[in-house]
């Protein structure tokens, strides 16, 4: 993934400016920054869900502005601020739904739930589960889809230590497969432990910190 002088505006307001960011295979980059600095927009831009309106961008070999981003989206995994579960479905049903939409064998769901420690809660409705449990299901999504580009936006916020360990393991497994990860967090210690380098986003501009 590479952004060169990229800029993003939302509703006419510039959010990211003169963005230079590259992510090599097997690399993970941490991004810290205050609230409102554009971290979520950066993640959504890397996920091809928001298009840059200035500069150039390449994500998994395509230009998300000129090419059809749907070609690569299935290779991108994202955990955002809010869990994307369907409240009325059980945890197992949520995962099976994801597997079916992504053409993945639904028989892998049980194993994914086991890895994230939710086998006993598989038949519980998502709306009856804690935030942490819902986050674990999202980690299980990514175990099923095995993305090449992993994007975590405050994914570890509010999680217990074992869930944070799962996120760490997820980042390492993506890197080991030759993929890349961008991890956004306020927790600088976590970024330093998970990432090859840590950048700081301040008022829409990235700065190297280490």
Partner 1 sequence: MRFWRQALEIARVDLTVEQRVGSTLRITVPFAVVALMVFPLSLGLRLSLVSEVGVGIFWAVGILFGMQVALRQSANDSIQRRDLQALLGVDPAARFVGRLMSGATLTIAFFLVMLVSMAVLFDPDVPEGGWPVLTLVSILVAFGLTELGTLAGEVTTGLSSRTTLASLIVAPMALPLVIGASQSVEALPQDTGILPWVLLLIASDLALAVAGVALARPLEEATR
Interface with partner 1 by CB under 8 A: which residues? 44, 47, 49-51, 70, 73-74, 76-78, 80, 82-84, 86, 88-89, 93, 97-98, 100-103, 141, 145
Q: Is 76 or 194 the residue whose CB approaches partner 1 more closely? A: 76
Nearer to partner 1, 79 or 206 (CB): 79
Nearer to partner 1, 81 or 193 (CB): 81
Residue 34 token pair: 């205050």
State in angstroms the smallest separation of the CB of 210 from partner 1: 30
Q: How many C-beta atoms surround the C-beta of residue 86 within 10 A?
A: 13
- Rg for the chain (alpha carbons), in Å? 17
Strands, DSSP E only, in 59-187? 76-79, 149-153, 180-184
**Residue nearer to partner 1 on the CB measure, 10 or 165:** 10
How far, in Å, CA of 178 to CA of 132, rounded? 28
Structure tokens, 55: 């500069």
Minimal distance in Å, beta carbon 189 to partner 1?
28
Q: How far is 80 from 157, CA to CA, in rounded Å? A: 11
Nearer to partner 1, 143 or 199 (CB): 143
In the complex, least distance from residue 59 CB atom to partner 1, rounded to whole angstroms = 12
Q: Find out whether 98 and 140 touch, Cβ atoms under 8 Å.
A: no
Minimum separation from the CB atom of position 70 to partner 1 (A): 7
Do residues 28 and 22 make contact, with C-beta atoms less than 8 angstroms apart?
no
In the complex, the smallest distance separating the C-beta of residue 131 from partner 1, rounded to whole angstroms, is 13
């Amino acid at each position: 993934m590479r952004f060169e002088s990229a800029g993003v505006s939302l509703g006419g307001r510039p959010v990211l400016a003169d963005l230079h960011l590259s992510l090599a295979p097997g690399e993970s980059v941490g991004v810290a920054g205050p609230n409102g600095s554009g971290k979520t927009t950066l993640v959504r831009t890397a996920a091809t869900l928001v298009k840059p309106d200035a500069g150039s961008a390449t994500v998994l070999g395509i230009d998300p502005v000129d090419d059809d981003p749907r070609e690569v989206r299935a290779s991108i995994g994202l955990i955002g601020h809010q869990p994307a579960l369907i409240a009325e479905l059980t945890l197992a049903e949520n995962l099976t739904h994801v597997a079916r939409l992504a053409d993945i064998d639904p028989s892998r769901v049980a194993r994914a739930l086991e890895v994230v420690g939710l086998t006993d809660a598989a038949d519980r409705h998502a709306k009856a589960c804690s935030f942490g449990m819902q986050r674990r299901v999202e980690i299980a999504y990514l175990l099923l889809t095995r993305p090449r580009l992993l994007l975590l936006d405050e994914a570890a916020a509010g999680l217990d230590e074992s869930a944070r360990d799962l996120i760490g393991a997820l980042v390492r497994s993506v890197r080991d497969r030759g993929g890349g990860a961008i991890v956004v967090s306020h927790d600088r210690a976590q970024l330093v432990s998970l990432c090859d380098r840590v950048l700081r986003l301040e008022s829409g501009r990235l700065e190297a910190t280490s």
